[in-house]
Structure 1
Amino acid sequence: MAALARAVSQLEHKGFASRLTNALGHEIERLGRMVPANITDVVDRAGESAIRTAFNTALRTLSPRSSTDQRIAHKAVATLSGTVGGAFGLAALPIELPFSTIVMLRSIAAIARASGEDLSQPEAALACLQVFALGTGRENQLALESSYFSVRAVLAKSVSEAARFVVNRGLADEGTPVIVRLVSQIATRFGVVVSQKVAAQAVPVMGAVGGAAVNYAFIDHFQSIAEGHFTVRRLERAYGPQIVRAEYDRLLAETRAKN
């Protein structure tokens, strides 16, 4: 119950925008929606490219073997790459974002292994990729349903079909509609967070130091989401999805009633 309560907090109550506000001292909540249309196109393309690269990495190079949780080291690398984004601005995004995303994916994979996931199984590897679609926040935080389980439900069919396709046919045809649909669904939600990241880095006087702070918040956000996500999956394996969902919803309702 304690682990599940932490997962509810990680998955439902602290979005990326609030992390940026805490890190930078600026109100970032709505900046992602203020990115100009021409820049939004660049962000969307960069986000989809990053998720496509992460998809290939998830299914080709993530080790199923147990390894230490190098969360601090991954934070350091992602933070360093943020100095590039801060120093060179939007021009660096097509290079910096895929690199940061792969660093985050490897950190997510370490968290998954620590929670008992077998990354030799395509479904488990894709659960790592799924983290990038979670924790994007919602318009109405008082809504009764869980945003976490809502997104999982939306992605469930695509994840299942993609995992089945990879088991049967491998990665020979990455342009198949099954794969393209999953990448697009995840990239769309990932783009919300990327837009907030770009908006924060566009704040005047951010520079390289500000870019590093933004990337620190960026990877910290997804590490926290991953920890909550794989805690829920671990508990589902131990106790069954129905009881975990029921207790999750009860804890979420209690928390929102207090607020």
Structure 2
Amino acid sequence: MTTLPPSDLAALQTAVTLLETPSLTSKLSNLIGQPLESALNKLPAGTHAKIGELVQTALRKAADAALWSLDTQAQGHASNFLHKAMAATSGAVGGAFGFAALAVELPITTTLMLRSIADIARSEGFDLNQVQTKTACIEVFAFGGPSGKDDATESAYYAGRAFMAEAVQVAGKALADAAAQSGKLGLSGVTAGQTGTWMAKFIEYVASRFGIVITEKVAAQAVPLLGAITGATINTMFMDFYQDTAKGHFIVKRLEAQYGQDLVRTAYSDLMLRR
């Protein structure tokens, strides 16, 4: 059986270290010094639904502002520190003004995180002009939610990948339906509008996961006596988490493109067992 060469195996080990980390939920609980459930229970009625709407809007705006405007010809390493500093500033404003500022702060923070994710994808050799790369950037936000895996030998990352495979199926059906409708109108091929329909459905699926951690973020920032300082700290924590996840994710996808998904997943599992 073919194995990864030492340099790529080392890169995959880096990915495992970055991707198999404590969840954002546990990090938020440690930050506020209490179980997050108690803070969540204190949120006003209807907050969860409102946040769900805001998250979908934020992801759609971020996709337009971040991925379609980023310089695809840039070279060199990703600008992680710059994005982190900007996110901290945005979080400080959101923390100072509370839930009322979320509709303004969330799209800004999400756009900054998505720009950073795309910058990392570019630094790993991915073409940001390709729809597949843009999709892979957006799906990074799905890895912050619960994995449903309690066994330390099971991969939270690949549990998230399984969820995203389902999301692609659902979005693909939306695209097929749009294409079929176009056929009835005598049109051929897949239009930009149909691709937009596919992306909107895909974002809706990702938002269902991203919305969980954003709700937890709001609950943590609502804890008394924390305010703007916590807003900045939490946004920095989020940026750190999604930058690390993006780095690991695009290392895995780069290796999969070179060696195939099965070989990379087997090597990934072997590395997890050695931890």
Relative to the length of structure 2, the TM-score reads 0.81
Distance 1:88 1:98 in 2: 15
Verify: 1:93 aligned to 2:102, yes or no.
yes
Verify: 1:192 aligned to 2:192, yes or no.
no
Deviation at 1:60, TM superposition (A): 2.5
CA contact (8 A) 1:8 1:251 kept: yes
Verify: 1:238 aligned to 2:258, yes or no.
yes
CA contact (8 A) 2:94 2:101 kept: yes
Give the structure with higher Rg (CA).
Answer: 2
Q: Which residue number corresponds to residue 124 of structure 2? A: 115
Q: Which residue number corresponds to residue 3 of structure 1? A: 11
Code of the residue aligned with 2:46 in structure 1: it is N
**Number of aligned residue pairs:** 252
Code of the residue aligned with 2:17 in structure 1: it is S
Deviation at 1:224, TM superposition (A): 0.9
Verify: 1:15 aligned to 2:5, yes or no.
no
Distance 2:192 2:110 in 1: 23
Q: 1:163 to 1:79 in 2, by over 3 A?
A: farther
Deviation at 1:139, TM superposition (A): 4.1
The answer for unaligned runs of 5 or more in structure 2 is: 1-8, 179-188
Q: Which residue number corresponds to residue 227 of structure 2? A: 207
**Could you give the per-residue CA deviations for residues 104-137 of structure 1, whole angstroms, max 9, x where no partner exists?**
1111111101111111111011111111111323
Distance 1:97 1:236 in 2: 33
Among 138, 141, 145, the residue aligned to 1:136: 145
Distance 2:223 2:125 in 1: 41
Code of the residue aligned with 2:248 in structure 1: it is G
Instruction: Tell which deviates more after alignment, 156-165 or 57-66.
Output: 156-165
Distance 2:194 2:70 in 1: 18
Q: 1:6 to 1:137 in 2, by over 3 A?
A: farther
Code of the residue aligned with 1:45 in structure 2: it is E
Distance 2:260 2:58 in 1: 33
The answer for unaligned runs of 5 or more in structure 1 is: none
Q: Which residue number corresponds to residue 190 of structure 2? A: 168
Distance 2:175 2:98 in 1: 36
Verify: 1:26 aligned to 2:33, yes or no.
yes
Deviation at 1:156, TM superposition (A): 3.1
